[in-house]
Chains A and B, each alone.
Chain A
Amino acid sequence: MKKFVLAIMIFAVMFGICSVACAASVADVIKQAQGMSNEELYRKAIEESSGKKFVAIGNSSRGKTALASFVKMLQQIEPSYKLEEDWGQPKNNTIFEALNADVNSANPVYAMTLIQDGNQIKSKMLDTGVLLNFVPKEWLEAPGLARENNEFPLALQTLNKVFMFNNVGGAKFDNMWDFVAEDQKPLFMGVNSELVGKNALYMMTSDKYATWIKEAYEKLSPERQAEYAELIEDMQNDADELGIKGENAKYGLTWVYLWCEKYNQETDDGPICTTLVTKSAAGRSGLIVYSKLRSVEETGESSVNNITVAAYQDNYEGIGGYAYKHYLMLTKTSPLPWTACAFIAYMTTTHDGFAAWGKDMGGYAPVPACMQDHSHDGYVDGENKFPVKNDRGYDWWLNKGRLVVEDPTYCASVSGVMSEWIDGIIAHK
């Protein structure tokens, strides 16, 4: 019996040491990898993973395409290189449990992840040390790099979701408050099924964005302003109770309240897009991923020309949409850390690596060399047939288009109280 207990204790100690050592070794690899060029990383990856299985998990199915492209690229360097690819895409917000369970299991399999929702990433993955950040050397050295807010965690891309409306019948939405006007039912993904949407609502209470909302409010007619004035003043009490500081938080909260009360929940941006582009959706609006407009087949019933992107109107006032990010990180128990680092470097610093996402307008890599130009996507045979598809670019959207950009730290700081405030509104609408 004593021997049995001793054996178990030895096993437990060894398992513990092994776990710590594993985390340390992944961190060490990252440290070394950050000083290497892509070429060196690719060599390390070939050395480490040839003939093995690479398991990764992500919120974007295109990771699978990128992984296949990565393997092909490595095969150009070393023709005998082989890698069994396994790219999983979990559903219903289970990615965090899956990653957490994997790093705590006796036999972790996930090498890396492509993940969204800065709020949950911060509180569930970074603060707990489940995921480790890796910044490629060539990414840091890339000309024109948009480094701010993209380095920690490392962002693959920033995606925008923008306000748009169906213009059939001459509908007008030239102020962001029009989307929450009395008779509106803007189409939007459920805030609890895609939490980046909820994050965007949190962000609107931060000072910068609440001020934009206030400025848009001040451009409304006196009658429209009067409609909301009392509510806005009363909303200061909510701001105080929720602990949201900032002079204009009450404007942000008011808009968020009205949006939550009115939005028409859909399962995904795909059905919202196919709905909005039809003639019969005259006068309807939505807040969806911009790139969905690429998917529309022109017919007598559906056309992207039935859509107006609100922020593209010269006289539009207020926020044009919001941006969230896809982040790339290694698990702290990554069984193939060199390959994971090389794959991340490939996706974030090369045109081919980003190609799986690069075809889409509305998705912006921090390294300009990775991007494709989408400013003329609406041109067919030299003619500007679908102006709404001409993407005005990241800088335009950030500044002129007034995108709300997800800040994981701010989201994490207010989500505890704001989440239930929002849930209370949508539960009883």
Chain B
Amino acid sequence: MSNNTSRPGSLSKRLNRVKTYLSKPQNAILLALGIMLTITTVFPMITILRDTVLIHPGSKDAVGTALESSFDFGSEKLTSYNWTNLFTGTITTRVGRTRVTRSVADVYLWTPLLNSVLISIFACFGSILYGGIFAYLVTRTNLKCKKYLSSIFIFPYIMPQWTLAVVWQNLFNSNVVTGGSNGLLANMFGITMPQWWCEGIFPVSVVLAIHYAPFAYILIGGIFRNMDANLEEAATILNSPRWKTFLRVTLPLIKPAILSTILLVFSSAMGSYPIPHYLKLNTLSTQYVAMKGDRIGQASILAVIMMLFGFIILIINQRTTSGRKNFTTVTGKSGQTSVVNLRAWKYILSVILILTTLATGILPIVLFAIETFLPNPGDYSFLTNASSLTSKWWLTSENITESGMYGNKGILYNQQIWNAFAGTLFVAICCALVAGTIGTLVGYCVSKNRRSKWAAYVNNMAFLPYLMPSLAVGVAFFVVGSNMGLYDTFLLLILAGTVKYIPFASRSALNSMMQLSGELEEAAIILDIPWWKRMTQIIIPIQKTSIISGYLLPFMTCLRELTLFMLLCGQGRIITTMLDYFDEMGLYAFSSGINLILIVSILIFNYFVNKLTGASLDSGIGGGKK
């Protein structure tokens, strides 16, 4: 009897507790976001995991032993063949004229996996070294031309990443070494670079490092900029040598930013498809695409392995940032910063950096521009005969198949290009709006529930897709999208883009909301001001710059994203798949023209947003203020 009476009591108590919990908007939103993010993040992962045990007609898992080892699971026929064959199977092949039996994993998995890990490590190392040194010089020394250098340094991040790979090829390839026509260096100066320089791990790592160095610059630079110089000055007063001060004082201070860069760059580099594809390195991403013909299930296993790296990085992130998961900068506590006098080196280093940034930021743009006036792709005959330059790639208004146009109109008249550009803008705007809003809400709600496990879970769910290689996320949405009839639709692109880019906004919002004193909102609550009014009239205006960064970054990143989207749509749907198509076809004039359009667009958007709101691209993934 007592049980009967206590049950309704405890139920109503629980209900009351739930009601009280949900009466706070941040809790209700957190619950809704948690459920939504779990579905959008976990469901694609489960789908791709399921794909590894499905039988695919026309694939290796649909014949012979695979079918023999299949089993019924509900109404579906599944097989463990893809896993067992990949990890224990053998194949007969030839290496160096000798007939050998190799494990299937040796052919399809270990080498790509090793290459992926190596390029990710090297890209981290390179980007931190380059971006970190640059950040130090710009923020803590009296280097010359800082404003110019700071702006130009982020150019490689603005450009679609593989365009630097194409520039690399055009510069360094040679008949003698790479076995084709000469690149610019061999053509003009007769310089031939060795094979390891032209193709493989080295160029892939360098290009990735150059592309992600702005990340390191933004993250490390933020700390350098706001760092209190008292500690360093104390060390100087104590007669500590400069190198020792750097190692013992400065370096530990920027450690969190270095760690953040490693976490972010590692997964981004691992998921990069186009750079290894163009520079001929077999990685998990390129291997996934190569295996899609007749080993579809095993290709999905590669995607699962890439996802596992995302989880490992998430765990490392948890361990290293335990508690307050701040990825960005030490913000605005400093009373003073000291500037190191470089003396004569300020000129020498400026010149070196100007030349370096010219090579990584300006040269590609100049080469893109020149390319759009060449008679044939990569044909620099204008150096000896200026009349060979042509405007056909821009101004051809007819649909012609001659002269290398392949039935395409010139860029200015090419409806396909402009439609794809409009498609990209549409996807980018939608992703930015949805990801920005969800991310801001995540940041707000998590900051309001700092000690809640659910809040930590939601925060992790929101951040997890960023730590997953883009290709793995793309594969997951491809499998889901194909099953739901969403392939080649804007909806699928927006869904994938939103899930992938929520972390930009959530990190940005969380970091800024953490700095916000609860008293401000509490005062408004006492005055009985509704939640939406508190948000729109207090919270958002105060943290407007960071919040806008949370919208801006998904937008900018979406504009030049390929790896995430390349499996989800046809080549004409958005501008990056079209750009990649032109690059693959060797129609570099079109791809260079599109690149110019993209770069100019991003700079214009960045300029206007910066003018209107004070936020800009280089205010960083963490939304740290300049």
Contact = CB atoms under 8 A, between A and B. Distances in A.
B95 A425 contact: yes
Contact of B572 (A89, A185, A356): A89
B388 interface: yes
Given A97-B482, A193-B290, A278-B181, A102 B487 contact: yes
Interface string B173-210: 00100111110001100000000000000000000000
Contacts of B228: none
Given A192-B289, A299-B381, 9 more contacts: A88-B488, A89-B572, A98-B488, A101-B482, A102-B485, A128-B57, A264-B179, A276-B181, A294-B401
A360 B407 CA distance: 11
A352 interface: no
Contact of A297 (B376, B401, B584): B376
Nearest to A270: B586
B86 to A, nearest CB: 12
A267 B485 contact: no
A2 interface: no
Given A238-B99, A300-B384, A280 B186 contact: yes
Contacts of B106: 427
Contacts of A266: 180
Interface residues of A, number: 81
B608 interface: no
A235 B573 CA distance: 47
Given A89-B570, A127-B58, A268 B585 contact: yes
A378 interface: no
A282 B583 CA distance: 24
A94 interface: yes
Interface string A414-429: 0110011101110110
Nearest to B173: A275
A242 to B, nearest CB: 8
Contact of A65 (B186, B379, B407): B407
Interface in B267-289: 277-278, 280, 282, 289
B57 A127 contact: yes
Contact of B64 (A89, A190, A416): A416
**Chain B interface size range:** 35 or more
Given A282-B175, A297-B376, A425 B289 contact: no
Given A297-B376, A299-B381, A421-B91, A280 B175 contact: yes
Given A102-B487, A192-B293, A302-B379, A231 B402 contact: no
A88 B572 contact: yes
B483 interface: yes
Contacts of B406: 270, 295
Contact of B58 (A65, A123, A272): A123
A6 interface: no
Interface in A396-421: 415-416, 419-421
8 contacts: A57-B570, A101-B487, A267-B585, A297-B376, A297-B390, A301-B379, A424-B93, A427-B111
Interface in A368-389: none
Contacts of A267: 277-278, 583-586
A277 interface: yes
A274 interface: yes
Contact of A91 (B291, B384, B388, B577): B577
A195 B179 contact: no
Nearest to B183: A280
A238 B187 contact: no
